Amino acid sequence: MAGHLGWGVLNEEGWRKGPWTGEEDRLLIEYVRLHGEGRWNSVARLAGLKRNGKSCRLRWVNYLRPDLKRGQITPHEETIILELHARWGNRWSTIARSLPGRTDNEIKNYWRTHFKKKTKMSPETSNKSRTHHLKRQQFQEQQQQIQQQQLLQLNQLDMKKIMSLLDENYQVKLPFSPQIWPETTTLLCPNEDQHELLYTNGSVPDDHEACNDEQDSLWDGLWNLDDVHGNYGVPATCASGKATIHNLVAPFC
């Protein structure tokens, strides 16, 4: 960034642009501590920062706020993002309000890098991306799986009961017939990857066949979707399927 023309230097109005330095961060934090959030255009005058108000607000909101959560988006948060995006569309700030510690910018970036581009990808490219993504998340998922296994052990008896109910219900209610998928359906196909998403545009993705043919692994995948709050289900706009599963497991959550 520093090499970009005008990046990291003063612009024609005298404001600094580009990456924030540690000293600038310190000044901004001190300003907020003394004056609170707001009045961002006063920061330059009161804190001695050569940054405009917008830049200061953005830096504080997206990076310096003490209540921000660090680290990768968890599968549970991912589920929430998908569900809320299906409901609200690109209203990132609205979505962010349901994810304490996450910013609209963070959610927006996450969506764009993990989901949106998949709609345009070829299957081959998508597989590469999937591999890349999985490698990056491998460590985190290992930790989460340990936690999940502990929960699974605790609830093993109840789960077997749920599994049998779901298996019966699956045949009747889940809308896996491609004819009734709406365009741009976001469908979870958990048998291959516990939270891999497939996007369809009125057609059936190749991978989808595995969902129909391998119910056992499909349901295994659903259990892997378990999170610390004990929700099991399909975070998809495939609405009737989602409702069926959530209604079924709700009494056990």
Partner DNA sequence: AAAGATCGCAACCGCCACGGA
Partner DNA sequence: TTCCGTGGCGGTTGCGATCTT
Q: Which value, to the nearest 10 degrees, does the dihedral of the CA atoms of residues 21, 27, 28, 31 take?
A: 180
Residue 36 contacts by C-beta under 8 Å, 6 or more apart in sequence?
none
Residue 183, H or E segment: strand 183-188
Q: Which is nearer to DNA, 9 or 253 (CB)?
A: 9
Q: Which is nearer to DNA, 141 or 226 (CB)?
A: 141
Q: Could you tell me the smallest distance in angstroms from the CB atom of residue 48 to DNA?
A: 17
Q: Could you tell me the smallest distance in angstroms from the CB atom of residue 199 to DNA?
A: 14
**CA–CA distance, 243 with 195 (Å, rounded to integer):** 18
Q: Could you tell me the smallest distance in angstroms from the CB atom of residue 142 to DNA?
A: 16
Q: Which is nearer to DNA, 17 or 208 (CB)?
A: 17
Q: Could you tell me the smallest distance in angstroms from the CB atom of residue 238 to DNA?
A: 23
Strand, coil or helix: 79: helix
Q: Which residues bind DNA (CB under 7 A)?
A: 1-4, 7, 11, 16-20, 38-42, 53-55, 57-59, 61-63, 72, 90-94, 104-106, 108-110, 112-114, 117, 125, 128-129, 131-133, 135-136
CB 8 within 8 A of CB 17: yes
**CA–CA distance, 209 with 222 (Å, rounded to integer):** 17
Q: Which is nearer to DNA, 36 or 251 (CB)?
A: 36
